[in-house]
Amino acid sequence: MTLKRQLKIIYMLLKMKLSKNMAFRFSFFGVFFVDGSLFLIQLLMFSAIYSQTETIGGWGKSQMLLFIGTFSLINALNMAIYFFGVLSIPWKIKSGELDLYITKPINPLLHLSFESIDLGSVPLVFASIGIIIYAVSGMDIPLTLLTVIGYTFLVLVMLLLYYDMMVILRTLSFFFIQASSIERLEGEVITLCMKIPGTLFKGAFKLIFYLILPYGIMATVPSEFFAGTLSPLGFVYSVGIAGFFTVFTIVFWKIGLRNYKSTSS
């Protein structure tokens, strides 16, 4: 099936999901309430920290707010677009429900990823953008169209990398009966990298969070670019690592499908 045809099916899934969300408004606003509460708690935490110090690892309050807003933006887009769909992959593998997706005329990974689009996180996208604008207004940096385009591009690249990591960790369910411990590890790593800019990691931690589990670059790299502190090599590395994990995700998913024990076989 052509990519255009698959995108049309994804668009239909989006319309159906939106209609369902509007029918269950409490669920729609419940997601926003939970995500918004976590966002506010993080802002309050950093406000308390910066009331006692001027910088953390060379990052001032405005730059740290930019980092928080960037991570929140990436996370909100993730929650709205593919989070709930990807999250369901292990259960559908174990239950045999994946059979239904393999037989449909659309790439099963695309279908799984985008069938549970949840627009309840969209308001948090705008809240995150507001924090980013406020942070930039407090920084002594020239704001140009190229800066905005480059930042937007890197946010989208990091959103793709976030997706890759989610899919890779859940593709492990094809090979392991119990993969919940891996998902708990993912949650702990994300929580850590939401609080600490990647530039603060040194030695083995930098190797882990910049290469093996590259959550450390997701908000750090776009923030550094906007602040004008990202080197050309850092830009190339971040795009390259996202490209590598995207290729690996596609290959690893195909290997997982070949190892899938269908309930109909």
DSSP for residue 211: I
Under 8 Å between Cβ of 128 and 28: no
Q: What's the total number of domains in the chain?
A: 1
Look at residue 265 and tell me if it is in a domain.
Answer: no
In this prediction, residues 127-135 reach a mean pLDDT of 88
Q: Report pLDDT digits (tens) over 198-249.
A: 988 999 999 999 999 999 999 999 999 999 999 999 999 999 999 999 999 9
Helices first, then strands: H and E counts in the chain? 13, 2
Look at residue 48 and tell me if it is in a domain.
Answer: yes
Distance CA 155, CA 241 (A): 14
Nearest-10 Cα torsion for 20, 21, 24, 26:
170
Under 8 Å between Cβ of 189 and 215: yes
CA dihedral over 250, 84, 132, 152, signed as positive or negative: positive
Look at residue 101 and tell me if it is in a domain.
Answer: yes
Q: Report pLDDT digits (tens) over 144-167.
A: 999 999 999 999 999 999 999 999
pLDDT(29) > 60: no
Write the CB contacts of 178 (distance below 8 Å, at least 6 apart in sequence).
none
pTM, two decimal places: 0.85
- What domain range is 221 assigned to? 3-258
Under 8 Å between Cβ of 23 and 31: no
Distance CA 117, CA 14 (A): 6
Look at residue 188 and tell me if it is in a domain.
Answer: yes
Look at residue 263 and tell me if it is in a domain.
Answer: no
Distance CA 240, CA 186 (A): 22
